[in-house]
């Protein structure tokens, strides 16, 4: 009974020092949690990708397009269940700072291939019927306050000109890993307009999205697609959706590594702060530990007191840090929704927070414990008075 009580009371003997240490740990865990969430957000597309979907693009670069005529050839390859296609539009809404993803897709096949995008049947019908229609995720709608029937104009960058769209539907994600900030419209609308303004760019798609009958066929189907278009004017590079998404991340890998490093540096710094607190604590109580030893308490008891106190202080900071991570992530995610449409604190992040706190507590207590156990009782007693 006393040992737990003693750990609790010892932890608050120097209230200011303990408070400042807890504050430091709270800030560190909060920062660590947010940085890990940024990394998770970076990989959100990868996490959300399906094992039964492939992406096929021009083998030279994503910048180059593929003929629409490939669609039927791909459809005939064994193992292919459905073929959809699209173009990255890159339109700007009013100002460049209002960035959001906007694509031209084939509405009939797109929603079939992406069942995680949920749209009511009425809105889906309205979208399919109207060539100028678009649907957008509910977060994007909320951000700009659009309403069904509103006409929204995007300024084309890849496809110059002002492009008018009518909002016909608001989609939501099946779960929180689905991006709800995308703007999706008819590929036909884009293609028809290009026939008038840039005929050489018509009947081209940026990428094919292919559904396979089962995940085990993904590799062979991808190989078959690329083989089909080998030595053509536009050779394909087909990969799983996950590999496609990872390809994007690899372009910014240095940033991800830097964020990861910073997140661990934060933990390392707080480890040093906590170790300093525990070293001061143990030094002040070396006489008390000697008293415990005279009474017959062994090294394990002394270690229990020091590790217990270290763990107690660290876990208070950890819990407060974790609790604060959620509102902070929400605010952070709202503010940076343009860059991180999916910004959620994952269970894995919480586990990492707890693991980091345990590590900090244990590492911080090792040296003071070793010192307290090793010191001779007679030497410890001399420190009193």
Positions that interact with other proteins (CB under 8 A): 1-3, 5-6, 9-10, 13, 287-288, 291-298, 376-378, 381, 384-385
Which of 69/294 has CB closer to other proteins?
294
The answer to whether the Cα torsion of 219, 223, 226, 228 is positive or negative is negative
Q: How far is the CB of 338 from other proteins (least distance, A)?
A: 53
Q: How far is the CB of 282 from other proteins (least distance, A)?
A: 15
Which of 200/378 has CB closer to other proteins?
378
Which of 110/307 has CB closer to other proteins?
307
Which of 159/292 has CB closer to other proteins?
292
Q: How far is the CB of 176 from other proteins (least distance, A)?
A: 46
Q: How far is the CB of 273 from other proteins (least distance, A)?
A: 23
Which of 74/313 has CB closer to other proteins?
313
Which of 9/227 has CB closer to other proteins?
9
Q: How far is the CB of 293 from other proteins (least distance, A)?
A: 7
Which of 323/377 has CB closer to other proteins?
377
Q: How far is the CB of 368 from other proteins (least distance, A)?
A: 18
Q: How far is the CB of 15 from other proteins (least distance, A)?
A: 12
Q: How far is the CB of 291 from other proteins (least distance, A)?
A: 5
CA nearest neighbour of 328 among 21, 24, 19, 35? 35
Which of 327/385 has CB closer to other proteins?
385
Q: How far is the CB of 1 from other proteins (least distance, A)?
A: 8
Q: Which residues of 3-31 are buried (b: 16+ CB within 10 A; e: fewer)?
A: eeebbeebbeeeeeebeebbebbbbbbbb
Q: Which two tokens stand for residue 358?
A: 């345990």
Which of 156/299 has CB closer to other proteins?
299
The total of other beta-carbon atoms located within 10 Å of residue 311's CB is: 21
């Amino acid at each position: 009974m006393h040992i737990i009580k003693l750990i609790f009371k010892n932890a608050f003997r120097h209230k200011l020092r303990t408070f400042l240490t807890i504050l430091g740990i709270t800030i560190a865990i909060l920062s660590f949690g947010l940085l890990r969430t940024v990394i998770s957000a970076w990989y959100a597309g990868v996490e959300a990708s399906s094992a039964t979907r492939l992406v096929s693009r021009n083998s030279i670069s994503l910048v180059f397009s593929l003929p629409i005529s490939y669609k039927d050839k791909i459809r005939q390859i064994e193992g292919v269940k459905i073929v959809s296609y699209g173009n990255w539009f890159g339109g700007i809404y009013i100002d460049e700072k209002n960035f959001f993803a906007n694509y031209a897709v084939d509405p009939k096949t797109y929603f079939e291939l992406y069942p995680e995008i949920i749209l009511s049947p009425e809105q889906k019908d309205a979208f399919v019927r109207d060539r100028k229609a678009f649907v957008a995720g509910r977060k994007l709608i909320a951000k700009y306050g659009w309403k069904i029937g509103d006409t929204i104009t995007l300024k084309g960058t890849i496809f110059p000109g002002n492009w008018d769209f009518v909002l016909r539907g608001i989609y939501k994600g099946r779960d929180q890993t689905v991006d709800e900030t995308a703007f999706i419209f008819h590929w036909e609308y884009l293609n028809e307009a290009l026939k008038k303004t840039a005929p050489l760019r018509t009947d081209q798609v940026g990428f094919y999205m292919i559904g396979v009958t089962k995940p085990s066929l993904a590799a062979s189907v991808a190989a078959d697609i690329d083989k089909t278009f080998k030595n053509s004017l536009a050779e394909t590079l087909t990969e799983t959706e996950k590999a496609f998404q990872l390809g994007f991340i690899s372009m910014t890998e240095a940033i991800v590594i830097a964020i990861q490093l910073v997140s661990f540096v934060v933990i390392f710094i707080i480890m040093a702060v906590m170790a300093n607190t525990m070293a001061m604590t143990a030094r002040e109580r070396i006489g008390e530990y000697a008293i415990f030893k005279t009474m017959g308490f062994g090294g394990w008891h002394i270690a229990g007191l020091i590790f217990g106190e270290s763990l107690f202080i660290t876990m208070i900071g950890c819990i407060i840090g974790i609790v604060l991570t959620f509102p902070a992530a929400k605010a952070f995610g709202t503010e940076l929704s343009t860059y991180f449409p999916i910004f959620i604190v994952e269970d894995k992040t919480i586990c990492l927070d707890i693991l980091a706190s345990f590590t900090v507590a244990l590492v911080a207590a090792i040296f003071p414990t070793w010192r307290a156990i090793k010191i001779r009782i007679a030497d410890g007693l001399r420190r009193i008075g």
